[in-house]
């Protein structure tokens, strides 16, 4: 009964709010979606001000390479690169985990609601939080959950590095999704950011 109530609650929370003409929707038919977070439900929507613009660090177009080089579309063979709509679907999937692979100070400055912070430097050591089991040889990832990783944007190497390290540690590449646009694309679309 408890499992049924959890599934019912998750499905009710995933019901989108439909957009009306003239509103800034996620899609023409969806104004917002609600996702469960450790702090409770959060509604993800786009900023309704059609004059809104990015400012500060998120408006920068050029960063020094290295460290901020353009990242490949696919960080490793078998990994699926996704956009915002696919990420929103994963955020609503109770089996999936969305991972913010940035170091702590970036996460604290704002993240995608529902994401958990596993810094790229720790990803290969924390696979037990993603459905793998610790065994004598490292990790048994037969029960690995679907995950999506992101970082700061197309120029950020934190999530690609985390993905490659996770695969080397035994995480199945076909269970990994890469949101390449990261926080810069998320903010560019005016989507909700949690602090």
The CA distance from 128 to 130, in Å, is 5
Q: Which of 132, 141, 151, 156 is catalytic?
A: 151
Nearest alpha-carbon partner for 71 in 146, 186, 161, 147: 161
Would you give the DSSP letter of residue 12? H
Query: In the chain, where do the E strands start and end?
Result: 32-37, 40-45, 80-82, 97-100, 116-117, 133-135, 138-140, 147-150, 176-179
141 in active site = no
Name residue, tokens 């599934």: 7
Residues designated catalytic: 151
């Amino acid at each position: 009964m408890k499992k049924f109530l959890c599934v019912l609650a998750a499905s009710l929370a995933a019901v989108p709010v439909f957009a009306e003409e003239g509103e800034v929707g996620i899609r023409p038919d969806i104004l917002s979606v609600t996702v469960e977070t450790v702090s409770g439900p959060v509604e993800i929507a786009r900023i309704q001000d059609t004059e809104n613009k990015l400012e500060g660090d998120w408006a920068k177009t050029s960063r020094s390479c290295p460290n901020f080089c353009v990242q490949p579309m696919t960080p490793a063979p078998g990994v699926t690169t996704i956009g915002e709509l696919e990420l929103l679907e994963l955020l609503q999937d109770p089996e999936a985990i969305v991972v913010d692979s940035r170091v702590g100070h970036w996460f604290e400055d704002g993240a995608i609601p529902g994401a958990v912070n596993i810094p790229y430097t720790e990803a290969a050591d924390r696979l037990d939080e993603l459905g793998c089991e610790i065994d004598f040889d490292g990790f048994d990832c037969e029960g690995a959950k679907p995950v999506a990783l992101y970082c700061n944007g197309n120029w950020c190497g934190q999530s690609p590095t985390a993905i490659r390290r996770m695969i080397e540690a035994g995480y199945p590449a076909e269970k990994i999704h890469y949101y390449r646009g990261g926080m810069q694309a998320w903010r560019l679309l005016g989507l909700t950011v949690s602090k």
